[in-house]
Amino acid sequence: MAAKLLADDQPEAALAAADEAIKRDERIEWGHRLASLALERLGRDAEAVAAAERAVRLAPGSWAARLRLGSALRRTPGRWREAWTQAAKAVHFAPEEPDAHVLAGDLALARGEHDRAARSYRAALDGAPDHLVARINLSLALLRWERPRPHHDPAWVIDPRETGGARNAVETWARQVRLLFAVALPPVVAAGLLGGHRTQAAIAGLAVLALAAVPTLRQARRMRIWSYLPQILARDVWLTVKVALTPLSALAYTAAVLTLPVQTVPASARTGLLGFVVLNGAAVPVVRVLVEAWRGRPVLALAELTAALPERTARRNADIALWIVAARAWSLTVLAALVSPLIGGLATGPGRLAAALAVPAGIAVPAGLAWARRRTGLSGQLRRLMKADRSLALALALAITASAAIAVAGAAGALGGRAASSVAVWGWRAVPVALAGAAVVFVLRTVRARLSGLPGPWRESLVFCEGCGRRQPGDISPPVELSEEVRRAFTSSRGVVLAYADPSGPRAMAVGAVASIGPTGELCLIADDDAWQAAERDPRVSIFAADPIERRFWTEVCGTALGDAEAEVLRVTPKRVVIGEYPGPARGRR
């Protein structure tokens, strides 16, 4: 009942049903596992961890219990390593189960280990190609996605709220100091150069430097974890850029102020210092957009997202991935316009050859977009995505227009003649207009997203997929039960055989009899050291037995073996049961 209620998204009722099942028999780990999942969905993370730990104690060889505990631990600050240990055990116990690989991928993705995450998601998709969570999160790994708090390593034992407070203090300090210099320098320079009060303006400008101590001291008092600051900066690249720009702005500001009384300083030097101090704050977001457009592999990510459409999260992430592709197309078009040897409408001599070189440069971007469309399989979904985000369609159209204008201008310049030269001139005039138009579309789309709270055309709007689709999580699955006839066969037989993997190949050994069978079907075997060592290498084993009473009946239990040093037995948790009769076909049950 609890499992059905969880599938129907009724965690409160599911928790009540799980608690009732636990009261009837608290030795059944499934009840604790379902209670943990219900508590997690209710936001009671600490209780969810405690319930999952009870499930693991009752069935340490259950991959589903390990999966549940790992899933619960990852929500608890400072317990990422424990969660990773449980996920690794779930994969070790049941490598054929996709959800175990998905949890390992999610944990790796949380730390920014994109290659490891991609391997885990691909392993999950090998066994379950329809696993939407694995496919969507694989696209995030391919895009080199980062969590909203990239400065915090989930493996740190410190609370993320503390590192978040430290990051905010550093970012606020950098922003306030740079803003102070950017606001103060223009009037100081204007008073010195235009008003003729160079010395007085320089003195006033130097006094502003003292004001920078106010935000510095204020934010320094907010810092409580100075020892983590180098690691925070190492993980958050753009925070490091802002911090590095702050002393550089101070140096540029100081140089601009001190050189005011010096009349021999070139105007270009003054302009450069003024521009750096005033514009560095606005330049960082622009540079960030262009740099991050070239991170990851958006075409491969779009191929994965296309396979997950029309799922809502996949559709949102596909739209943002297309914006990344559009930013790349825009960047390449700008590069083609800058490096093309065609200047104006060259029409004679070697200029024709130079003009012809602009043709492939202009064709490259539309050709690349056409290839990406075929590679991703988006042909059937592209129109729907463009209709949902008309700004994206317009930005792509303008980038393609600019590329086409480069190709047309190059072809016209190569042909020569008055008419062709005129076409080339107008083509080159159209290039910056189209590129500027695409940039304006992006800015307007960004502003609209900020004002309306909608997802914006940037990486931060990518969504991590958790619980997407209708597939139920693996940790909700029931344990394998042993029927009475199977229990009788193992407890009565004196010819129980244990099969396991050995470096030299598969091996089998007689274990005499099963010492005991737990309420959840766990088999306790007395085995020699070879079997214990084999279970440590690969816990997947099979146990065979024949019923001495019903002589034609035989059974095989495939499961996970763990050594219990205190009880001196191998505890085997069943994953699959096969029964049959001599002679006759086997009847499998999982």
Give me the number of domains the chain comprises. Answer: 4
Contact (CB, 8 A) for 67 and 55? no
Contact (CB, 8 A) for 224 and 165? yes
pLDDT digits (tens, 9 = 90+) for 306-351: 999 889 999 999 999 999 999 999 999 998 888 765 444 444 444 5
Amino acid 343: pLDDT: 45
Amino acid 512: pLDDT: 65
Name beta bridge partners: 509. Answer: 498
Ranges 12-16, 279-283, 355-359: which has the least confidence: 355-359
Amino acid 295: pLDDT: 92
**541 and 580 within one domain:** yes
pLDDT over 70 (residue 525): yes
For residue 557, with 0-12 CB atoms within 10 Å meaning exposed, 13-18 middle and 19 or more buried, which class applies?
Answer: buried
Name beta bridge partners: 9. Answer: none
The mean pLDDT of 354-359, rounded to a whole number, is 68
pLDDT over 80 (residue 151): yes
**Residue 584: left if φ>0, alpha if ψ -120 to 50, beta else—which one?**
left
**329 and 361 within one domain:** yes
The mean pLDDT of 99-120, rounded to a whole number, is 95
Q: Answer whether residue 265 is part of any domain.
A: yes
Contact (CB, 8 A) for 169 and 232? no
Amino acid 345: pLDDT: 43
3-state helix, strand, coil in the chain (%, to 5): 65, 10, 25
Q: What percent of the chain has pLDDT over 70?
A: 94
Amino acid 150: pLDDT: 87
Amino acid 351: pLDDT: 52
Q: Answer whether residue 473 is part of any domain.
A: no
- Band of pLDDT at residue 579, cut at 50, 70 and 90: confident
**446 and 371 within one domain:** yes
Q: Which of 107, 142, 177 is the last residue of a domain?
A: 142
DSSP at 228: G
**256 and 135 within one domain:** no
**445 and 492 within one domain:** no
**378 and 315 within one domain:** yes
- The domain in which residue 268 lies consists of 160-284
Round to whole Å and give the CA distance between 162 and 223: 9
Q: Answer whether residue 474 is part of any domain.
A: no
What CATH code is carried by the domain that includes residue 494? 2.30.110.10
Q: What residue has token string 């694989």?
A: 138
pLDDT digits (tens, 9 = 90+) for 451-471: 988 888 988 899 999 888 788
* pTM to 2 decimal places: 0.88
Amino acid 454: pLDDT: 83
Amino acid 231: pLDDT: 94
Quote the Cα angle for 320-323-326, to 5°: 160
pLDDT digits (tens, 9 = 90+) for 296-308: 999 999 999 999 9
Q: What are the CA-CA distances from residue 319 to residues 145, 219, 301, 380 (Å)?
A: 15, 38, 11, 14
**188 and 72 within one domain:** no
Backbone angles phi, psi at 562, to 5 degrees: -130, 140
**51 and 80 within one domain:** yes
Q: What residue has token string 């050709």?
A: 367
**303 and 270 within one domain:** no
pLDDT digits (tens, 9 = 90+) for 28-58: 889 999 999 999 999 999 999 999 999 999 9
Contact (CB, 8 A) for 468 and 313? yes
What CATH code is carried by the domain that includes residue 54? 1.25.40.10
pLDDT digits (tens, 9 = 90+) for 198-234: 888 888 889 999 999 999 999 999 988 999 999 999 9
Round to whole Å and give the CA distance between 17 and 29: 14
Amino acid 349: pLDDT: 45
Q: Answer whether residue 10 is part of any domain.
A: yes
Name beta bridge partners: 541. Answer: 559
**436 and 343 within one domain:** yes
SS3 string, 300-353, reads: HHHHHHHHHCCCHHHHHHHHHHHHHHHHHHHHHHHHHHHHCCCCCCCCCCHHHH
Mean pLDDT of the chain: 87
**219 and 272 within one domain:** yes
- Which runs of consecutive H residues, i.e. helices, occur in 389-417? 390-415
**342 and 451 within one domain:** yes
- Band of pLDDT at residue 587, cut at 50, 70 and 90: low
